[in-house]
Amino acid sequence: MRLPLLIAVALLTSACSNVETKDTTAEVNANPACLGSGSQPGAAEAPWCKRELKAEIVTGGDKGEKIDFNKKDDD
- All residue ranges of the chain with pLDDT < 70 are 1, 11-17, 37-39, 60-64, 71, 74-75
* pLDDT value of position 60: 65
Integer Cα distance of 3 and 65 in angstroms: 32
Q: Is the Cβ–Cβ distance between 39 and 5 less than 8 Å?
A: no
* pLDDT value of position 13: 63
Radius of gyration of the chain (CA): 21
